[in-house]
Amino acid sequence: MPAINEPKLISGNANLTLSTAVARRMSIHRGAKVDLVNARVERFNDQEIFVEIHENVRGEDMFIIQPTSNPANDNLMELLIIADTLRRSSAARITAVIPYFGYARQDRRTKARTPISAKLVANMIAHAGIERVLTMDLHAAQIQGFFDIPVDNLYASPIFALDIKHHFRDCLDEVMVVSPDVGGVARARELAKRINAPLSIVDKRREKPGEIAEMTVIGEVKDKRCIIIDDIADTAGTLVKAAELLMEYGAKEVHAYITHGVMSGPAVERVTGSVMKSLVITDTIEPTAAVRSAANIRVVPTAPIFAQAILNIWGGTSVSSLFEDATLEPLYETHYS
């Protein structure tokens, strides 16, 4: 069905920098200026969230850009309240653009008497009036099935592949992709296939949550430039230990490509003091000042792919086409020129 109304963006407070960048990229793609909707998203003295939209959105195709990152509960409530505001203002369709989907790690019951919080959050999003979700690198693919509305899950691996081909262009034959655990093998294999590199696995065994009892490397990493690929870096403890282990096994150098840089607690200090030559993250979560100033942490933009995905959803065209190099490379042409 051809699009009739213009796509309109509204942002919460979780990542205004990304929202502004998406609007700017959409303006470039369309050749017409796209601005964020003029709205007020603030808190009362008791921290209740209040939203007021200062322009007409009746009959419009609305896109809310709001990752549910730290503080997860506040940012989730902002998303739900913005959606309710738009629904009560007669928006034609509401799409939630959630670059980082919080609570995704609670996607199953690991023991008795525990919740499946990802399913609860999915229900809340649908009941708030949101009709479609656009996100990136869900922690578990089955979370898409928790929603009773369409979910478009973008992948960071095509972006990472472009970045690796640019920064390792003189030594691609030495690159080894490493999965930090058995559960992440599919993600690592996808990247390895894109850059035509071999795959290795760090097998870790935990005695209890947060504590690693034993780590071993499956695969020959000696004299390789190892690239660890994962979706989330939280406290970075496992990441740093995996890098140390790879160096012990004879790796020439270790880098890491992580989609969502949660980087809580001592994460930045651990990374800067580690044997890792570089950590590359995306801006799905607003990077802190400490992250931006860290010498061995680099941030790659997601605005180009999110902007095009929004335009594809608005225009009723394929989102999965963005997984192909031929479609993605032109979006990042200026970034890697």
Residue-wise pLDDT tens digits, 106-154: 999 988 999 999 999 999 999 999 999 999 999 998 999 999 999 999 9
The answer to whether residue 53 sits within a structural domain is: yes
Instruction: Please tell me whether residues 24 and 39 are part of one structural domain.
Output: yes
> Where in the sequence is the domain holding 120, given as residue range(s)?
7-155+303-326
Longest dimension (CA), the chain: 61
Detail the residues annotated as belonging to a binding site: 46-48, 105-106, 139, 181, 206, 230, 234-238
- What average pLDDT does the structure give for the chain? 94
In a domain, 132, yes or no: yes
State the average pLDDT over residues 1-9: 70
CATH number for the domain harbouring residue 26: 3.40.50.2020
Residues 225 and 316 in one domain: no
Q: Which residue has the higher pLDDT, 69 or 206?
A: 69
Q: How far apart are CA 38 and CA 52, in angstroms?
A: 9
Residues 48 and 72 in one domain: yes
Task: List 93's β-bridge partners, or say none.
Answer: 61
Q: Do 236 and 126 belong to one domain?
A: no
Q: How many helices (H) and strands (E) does the chain have?
A: 10, 14
Percentage of the residues of the chain whose pLDDT score is greater than 70: 96
- Within a domain: residue 337? no
**Interval 198-215: pLDDT, tens:** 999 998 776 555 555 678
pLDDT band at 333 (very low <50, low <70, confident <90, very high): confident
Residue 335 domain-assigned? no
Mean pLDDT of 216-238: 95
Tokens for 197, please give them.
């590199």
Highest mean pLDDT among 87-91, 323-327, 328-332: 87-91
Residue 144 and residue 70 share a domain: yes
Which strand (E) or helix (H) includes residue 268? Answer: helix 267-272
Say if residue 157's pLDDT is above 90. yes
Q: What is the pLDDT of residue 31?
A: 84
On whether both 171 and 104 belong to a single domain, the answer is no
Looking at the structure, tell me whether residues 169 and 277 fall in a common domain: yes
Annotated binding residues for Mg(2+), written as ranges, equal: 139, 181
For 336, residues 6+ apart whose C-beta sits below 8 A from its C-beta are 162, 163, 166
Does any domain span residue 96?
yes
User: 165 and 110 in one domain?
Assistant: no
Binding-site entries for ATP: 46-48, 105-106
Distances from the Cα of 267 to the Cαs of 242, 254, 262, in angstroms?
14, 17, 9
Q: In this structure, is residue 331 part of a structural domain?
A: no
Rounded to two decimals, the pTM is 0.94
Q: Do both 107 and 219 map to the same domain?
A: no
Catalytic residues: 204
Which residue ranges are tagged as binding site for D-ribose 5-phosphate? 206, 230, 234-238
**Domain membership flag for residue 169:** yes
Whether residues 169 and 137 share a domain: the answer is no
Residues 144, 179: one domain?
no
- Tell me, yes or no, whether 236 and 101 share the same domain: no
Task: Answer whether residue 332 is part of any domain.
Answer: no
Neighbours of 321 (CB within 10 A): 13
